[in-house]
Amino acid sequence: MVAWGVLTYFRRPCSVRDLVQACRYTKKHGVFAIALAVALHEKGLRVTFHTDPDPEPKRIERTCYARASALRLPVKPAIRLERISKIAGSKAAKLDHFSEGDRQVDQFLI
């Protein structure tokens, strides 16, 4: 839903069906953040993806990282929440929050 809203805001029309395919949605995993970044980039938006290293990426994530590399979509180290606030202010949209082992993970779209 957030991806569709972003594409609509930036006047990049896209059907829901096309967006679901572009984000590589699966019932088992939903949508990975890297897949969302690739989809937005493929729809013409300028994207930089920030993340921590994933010790056990799923196959679909590896495919998306390879696609990001082929598209020259920048993949950079994660940004601390305080820095996100300074960079984006109220323009950041929180996508997700989850636990991964002993750490808490927040995903934002800026």
Q: Residue 69 and residue 74: Cα distance in Å, rounded?
A: 8
DSSP state of 60: H
What pLDDT, on the 0 to 100 scale, is given for residue 94?
Answer: 55
Residue 50 near residue 37 (C-beta atoms within 8 A) = no
Q: What is the residue-level pLDDT of the chain in tens, covering all 110 positions?
A: 677 777 888 888 888 888 888 889 888 888 888 999 999 999 998 988 988 888 899 999 999 999 999 999 999 998 877 776 676 665 555 555 555 566 555 555 55
Which residue ranges make up each domain of the chain?
14-109
Strand pairing category for 93-100 and 103-109 = antiparallel
What does the pLDDT read at residue 8?
A: 81
**Does pTM surpass 0.85?**
no
